[in-house]
Amino acid sequence: MFESLSALSPDPILGLSAAFKKDPNPAKIDLGVGVYKDEQGLTPILDCVSQAQQMLLASETSKVYITPQGNQGYINGMVELLLGHNSAVTSANRVAAVQAPGGCGALRILAELLVRVNKNTRVWVSDPTWANHIPLLGDAGIDLQIYPYFDKNSASIKFDEMMDCLSKVSADDVVLLHGCCHNPTGADLNKEQWQQLTALASKVGFLPFIDIAYQGFGDGIDEDAYGLRLMAENLEEVIVAASCSKNFGLYRERVGLAAIICKDQSTKDIAQSQIQSVARGIYSMPPSYGGALVDIILNNKSLNDIWISEVEAMRTRMAELRAMLVSNLEDQNVDKDFSFINKQKGMFSFLCIPPEQVQALRDQHAIYFVDSSRVNIAGINHKNVSVLAKAIAQTL
């Protein structure tokens, strides 16, 4: 049977990671895979997570299945984290949600639900967007379209072109938006732009689909939820895919949330039954462990305070790394203004260099990042930043 299959090309990011591991160069630099790294190049377990693990170990008495929608304490805590304390949306009981296996699982659950609503659903994604958005949504049968977002020449958002494009979409269309720390560009909408976009969504009627995977890594935990909260408060319907991989460091635990903000409670009750049905048909019951840890952290005052400080430390460090890279590039007298890196947010930056230069950095200097020129800022440290800057200068 399986001889009829043909081999597929490796996933670009996973293939890059494999190539990095095989490279014998002791000075190699990995700026590809999107995980946070400390100064030693390690991805540490957060202190709040370590303490929560001990608390869970001491209190857990059974390994029986959790409920189909997931850990309710986790869901409640995440909804509050996303929408804010005392949100009018949550007070009106308008949010249907399930715990998902990571942000990827949340995206797929919502994609499958959209196909249930309309098998011809069309979703608009930004140019560029996170590469995995394409298979996660497209393989569910979604018709994907592209709206303008980022200009590599000016390293800025094509906001006017974006708005012009979205002003012409159908009221039945869905628009995928990055809640903060846009992946791969690091270029985020400002408050005024979110306000204009919210007004356009209200006028045109399209459904915002917000993917928020880096809350806390841009400007702050509450600040990074500005666009999401604005849309939730002013529109009847918004769908949200959230991830705890980055801001809780729970990459391998696969902790996510799929949420639907509905126009009223009765619609919410229907949506809750449907989203649970979708999840049931994919993986039956959600995993417990990671969600249980986040439940403990968000609902324990002491651990929550520690978590907030740890997110602040990661965010501050990444901002310092950006400034350090820009400074080192300036010292190399590079014939290109890289100051835009300081304006980008979160874990990623777009260097805005062509694929052939990315390949040259890989071949000649053992510096690994994806062909789009997206680099993981957290992969930079005090030991490798000057090497990186010199290599970029030589390659340009």
296 in Cβ contact with 56 (< 8 Å): yes
At residue 328 the predicted structure's pLDDT band, cuts being 50, 70 and 90, is: very high
Whether residue 124 lies in the annotated active site:
no
How confident is the prediction for the chain on average, in pLDDT? Answer: 95
Please confirm, yes or no, whether 307 is among the known catalytic residues: no
Q: Looking at this protein, which amino acid is placed at residue 276? A: Q
Residues with Cβ within 8 Å of residue 314, at least 6 apart in sequence: 36, 216, 217, 247, 378
Tell me the pLDDT band of 16, cut-offs 50, 70 and 90.
confident
- Supply the DSSP string of 120-158, one letter for each residue: T-EEEEEES--TTHHHHHHTTT-EEEEEE-EETTTTEE-
DSSP code of residue 99? E
Helices (H), the chain: 12-22, 47-59, 72-83, 88-91, 102-117, 133-138, 159-166, 191-204, 226-234, 265-283, 289-299, 301-331, 355-365, 385-395
Report residue 75's pLDDT band, with 50, 70 and 90 as the boundaries: very high
Do 11-44+315-395 and 49-299 show the same overall fold? no
Which of 130, 158, 224, 295 is catalytic? The answer is 130
Number of residues written out for the chain: 396
Contacts of 390 (CB under 8 A, 6+ apart): 332
The pLDDT of residue 395 is above 80: yes
Q: Annotated catalytic residue: which of 246, 268, 295, 307?
A: 246
CATH number of the domain located at residue range(s) 49-299 in this protein: 3.40.640.10
For the chain, what are the domain ranges?
11-44+315-395, 49-299
What value, to the nearest 5°, has the Cα angle with vertex 291 and ends 80 and 132?
90
pLDDT tens digit string along 152-203? 999 999 999 999 999 999 999 999 999 999 999 999 999 999 999 999 999 9
Question: Residue 12: is its pLDDT beyond 80?
Answer: no
Question: For residue 8, what pLDDT is reported?
Answer: 83
Residue 389 φ/ψ, nearest 5 degrees: -65, -45
- The pLDDT score that the predictor gives to residue 19 is 86
Query: Which residues share a beta bridge with 175?
Result: 124, 208
Q: Which of 211, 295, 307, 345 is catalytic?
A: 211
User: Mean pLDDT over residues 72-82, rounded?
Assistant: 97
Check whether domain 11-44+315-395 has CATH 3.30.9.100, yes or no: no
Q: What value does the mean pLDDT take over residues 344-358?
A: 94
* Rounded Cα–Cα distance for residues 135 and 330 (Å): 39
pLDDT tops 80 at residue 361: yes
pLDDT tens digits for 380-394?
Answer: 999 999 999 999 999
Q: How confident is the model at residue 57 (pLDDT cuts 50, 70, 90)?
A: very high
130 labelled catalytic: yes
Confidence of residue 43 (pLDDT cuts 50, 70, 90): very high
* Distance between CA atoms of residues 366 and 358, nearest Å: 10
Q: The whole model's pTM is what?
A: 0.95
